[in-house]
A = this chain, B = another copy of it.
Amino acid sequence: MRPAALALHTDFYQLTMAASYFEHGLDQQATFSLFAHATPPERGYMVAAGLEDCLEYLENFRFSAEEIDYLRSLGRFSRGFVDYLAGMRFGGEVWAAPEGTVFFAEEPILELSASLIEAQLVETFLVNTVNHNSTIAAKAARCQQAAAGRACVDFSLRRTMGLDAGFAAARSSAIAGFGGTSNVAAAMALGLKPVGTMAHSFIQAVGDEKNAFDLFAQTFPDHTVLLVDTYDTARGLARAVETARTLAAQGHAMIGVRLDSGDLAAMSRLARQTLDAAGLERALVMVSGNLDEYRIADLLAAGAPIDMFGVGTRMGASADQPYTDFTFKLVAYQGRPTLKLSEGKMTWAGAKQIYRSHDAAGIISGDELCLRHEARPAKALLQPMMQGGRRLAPPVGWAAAQQVLQAELASLPAQCRLIRAPQPLAPTVSPLLRQVQDDARQAALAK
C-alpha cells in the first residue's frame, strides 16, 4: 500500500537529537525496550501485534530524495548530517515476542539494538505501529472471548481512525479469531473472508421491503442475509420468511437475518422463534450495532439466541481504551545499563528477557523479567527476529499469530480472562536485574 520511504514519519526531536549525536560523534551501540508501563484499565492482558509491519519498515528504512531536500530546506541541520541521513539504512538487531503473544505491564515485547542514531529515528514508527495494532488486538480478543465460541466479524472500517486503523482492525481481529471482515481492501491484502450483504439504504431505495428482499435473494440466492429492522422488525421477519420460502422452492437456503437496532436480546428471540416456527431452524440470527465485549456478554447472559456478532466501531476504535501507554526507552548505551528516574516513569535497565512458567495444567504460573543473558527453565518470550537489519525468518501472517494467541489465551489464569474487572498479572524481577537496576539508579542519582 505505502511507498517504501517512511523514515520521515518520525518526531522532529528524533532528528534534532540525531543531529547532535552526529555532530558530537555519539553514535555507539544502544539498546531500547518497547513496553507499556501499565496494562490499561479493564484489560486483564495485552496482545502483541504489529511486529510484521515493524520488521518490514526497518528493512526498508530510508529517506526519499524529496524528504532529504525538505530537511535541508529547514536550515536547521548541517550538510554533513543531512548527507548522512540520505544514505542511512537500518542495520540493527531486534528481539521480540511473536505476534499473538500475551503480555503484561513492564514486559518489553520488542528490544532493539542499533547505533544510537538509527535506534532513535525509528522509535516513533515502532511505538505507533505496536500501539495501534496491539490495542485493537486486545479489544478484539475480549470480544471474541465474550462471544464464547459464536462467530464475530469485523464491521469497523467506517469509524476507525483512518484507513490504517481500519486495516489494523481487520488484521488484529483476525488474529483474535474473527471469522471475516467487511473491509474489502483488507480482505484482499490479507486473504480474509469478506462479509456483508445489505444496509437499510437497500430497502429504502427499493421502497417496498418484501420486494427488496426478493430482489437481493435473486442476485445472491446462496448468500442472502436479510436486514429486517428498517421499518418494523416483526413485519420484516415475516417478509424474510416469505423470501426464504421462495428461495427454498428454488433449491436455495437463506443464510439468515440481521438485526441492527432496538432491544437486540428481545428481537433476537423474536427472530429465532419466527424462523423456527417457519421451519428455518438452520437460518442464522446475526446482530450488529454498537457491540463490544460488554454488550456481547450481556446479550449472551440474557440468553439471546444469537449466532453471529457484527462488531464495529467500539472494537475498531478500542473505544473504552483507545491507546496503550507504550513507550520506547533507552536501557543500555555502549554496554552500560541506563535508566531515567522521572517520577512515575521508571524503566528497567539493560537488555532483557521474559521467562514464562506454567503449572501442570498448562496455566501461566508467573512471568519473570530477567537480563537477556540469564537462563531459566521456562519459556523465553523474546526471540531474535532481525540481525544486521535483515529478518532472520520470512514474514509470518495473521494465521500464525492467531494460533499463538489461541494457545496463549488457553493458558491465562481466570482472573485475566474476566470481561469485567479483570486482574492482569505482574512479572517478578530477577535478583540480577534488580542488582543491575540498583547500580544504575545509584549512578543516575549521583548525576
The complex places the Cα of A262 from the Cα of B215 at a distance, in Å, of 64
Nearest residue in B to A339 (C-beta to C-beta)? B204
From B125, B183, B322, B339, contact of A9 by CB (8 A):
B183
Given A261-B345, A323-B319: A185 and B8 interface contact (C-beta under 8 Å): yes
Query: Is the CB–CB distance between A166 and B128 below 8 Å?
Result: yes
Judge whether A428 is part of the interface by a CB distance below 8 angstroms: no
Judge whether A67 is part of the interface by a CB distance below 8 angstroms: yes
Query: Is the CB–CB distance between B161 and A205 below 8 Å?
Result: no
Query: Is the CB–CB distance between B17 and A199 below 8 Å?
Result: yes
Count of identical protomers in the assembly: 2
From B19, B168, B202, contact of A162 by CB (8 A):
B168
Binding stretch for chain B, among A94-102, A228-236, A244-252, A410-418: A228-236
Query: Is the CB–CB distance between A205 and B333 below 8 Å?
Result: yes
Interface residues of A in 12-40 (CB under 8 A from B): 12-17, 19-21, 23-24, 26, 30, 32
| A interface size (C-beta, 8 A) | 112
Q: Which residues of B contact A444 (CB under 8 A)?
A: 231
Interface residues of A in 184-217 (CB under 8 A from B): 184-185, 187-188, 194-209, 215-216
* CB proximity of A101 to chain B, nearest CB, Å: 20
Judge whether A3 is part of the interface by a CB distance below 8 angstroms: yes
Interface string of A406-439 (1 = CB under 8 A from B): 0000000000000000000000000000000000
Other A-B pairs, 5, CB within 8 Å; known A11-B155, A203-B340: A8-B184, A12-B196, A128-B159, A132-B161, A231-B340
A-B contact pairs, 29 of them (CB 8 A): A2-B2, A11-B182, A12-B181, A12-B183, A12-B195, A12-B196, A13-B196, A16-B197, A17-B201, A20-B216, A24-B219, A74-B194, A127-B158, A128-B162, A159-B325, A159-B326, A161-B161, A161-B162, A200-B340, A201-B330, A205-B333, A205-B338, A207-B336, A207-B338, A209-B447, A229-B343, A230-B340, A231-B341, A263-B343
Binding site for B on A (CB under 8 A): 1-3, 6, 8-17, 19-21, 23-24, 26, 30, 32, 67, 70, 74, 76, 116, 120, 123-125, 127-129, 131-132, 135-136, 155, 157-168, 181-185, 187-188, 194-209, 215-216, 218-220, 223, 229-232, 260-263, 313, 317-319, 322-326, 329-330, 333, 336, 338-345, 444-445, 447
